[in-house]
Structure 1
């Protein structure tokens, strides 16, 4: 039972990347992308093939957009977008690049939320991660002690 709980907890901890600063990694393989305009947009609720946002040219270093609420970094294999606040609200956001024909090529997408649960979960998951082994060890010691007392009587 404890192994199942530990496994589920590890999946949740590994899967949830939500923190006060939400991020999306946009990997690319083609070297020509480094010359292309990057895209950050929110997927349209009515048409999943459309999105609303903006494009930008990424140089070297860190790029700050929307009054510092969006930070973009590129390491040559991927560019990472870090979000403090969402101007367009909760939803599925894309990152990608724009071709010369003005076609957006989506590299990655993720659901971003302004709900405080994301921040709370980012802290709570580590507390649970620490408590799980402590509870397992305590239960093991308690059950060994209980079985030891039963054998001596």
Structure 2
């Protein structure tokens, strides 16, 4: 059981010392040289945050890690400066207008984030573990009922007929 839980948590990235929530931000090649933006949504069309260059790898004192791809960049978040909520990544156009590339909800606690996914894996496992445990216990602990020996003579038959209230539980034994 411990092995199963360890595998599930490692699949979710929980075996790292810290868990980074990530957002992939694809862009058009014409936006490659523009300033990058990371911000928290404050209304449907606005957000508050920071800008950084396309060469930046660690931003906001190491709370954000930026990885550059050929036509995208990925922002990995260790700690949210403005608390949990919807965050956007984008680029800042020449006239200082934000071009939103992607957005997602980020949790302030990695434990909450991990649990939000892990529970969906563990929930179906609970009935399976219960059934497996039940079947395993039944197969390893065999119950056997010994039949009373067949009477060979008439006295044993008459004794069996005269004692109709014999305790049936005393006949069954646990191996």
Instruction: Sort the TM-score into its range (normalised by shorter chain).
Output: 0.5 to 0.7
- Residue of structure 2 in register with 1:26 after alignment: 25
The residue number in structure 2 matching 1:148 is none
Give the structure 2 partner of residue 94 of structure 1. Answer: 88
| 2:90–2:100 contact (8 Å) kept in structure 1 | yes
Give me the TM-score of the superposition, normalised by structure 2: 0.58
Cα deviation per residue 1:76-133 (whole Å; 9 max; x = unaligned)? Answer: 1211000000111111100010110111010100111113543541783586289379
1:83 aligns with 2:77: yes
Question: Cα 1:102–1:26, aligned 2, differ >3 Å: closer, same or farther?
Answer: same
Instruction: Report the equivalent of 1:5.
Output: none
1:131/1:110 CA distance change after superposition, 3 Å: same
Aligned with residue 41 of structure 1, among 39, 42, 50: 39
Residues 66-81 of structure 1: pairs in structure 2 closer than 5 A = 66-81=60-75
- Which of 115, 124, 127 does residue 121 from structure 1 map onto? 115
Structure 1 distance, partners of 2:76, 2:128, is: 34
Distance 1:119 1:78 in 2: 24
Structure 1 unaligned blocks of 5 or more = 1-15, 146-153
Higher relative contact order (CA 8 A, sep 6+): 1
Which of structures 1 and 2 has the bigger CA Rg?
2
CA gap 1:120/1:105 in 2 versus in 1, 3 angstroms: closer
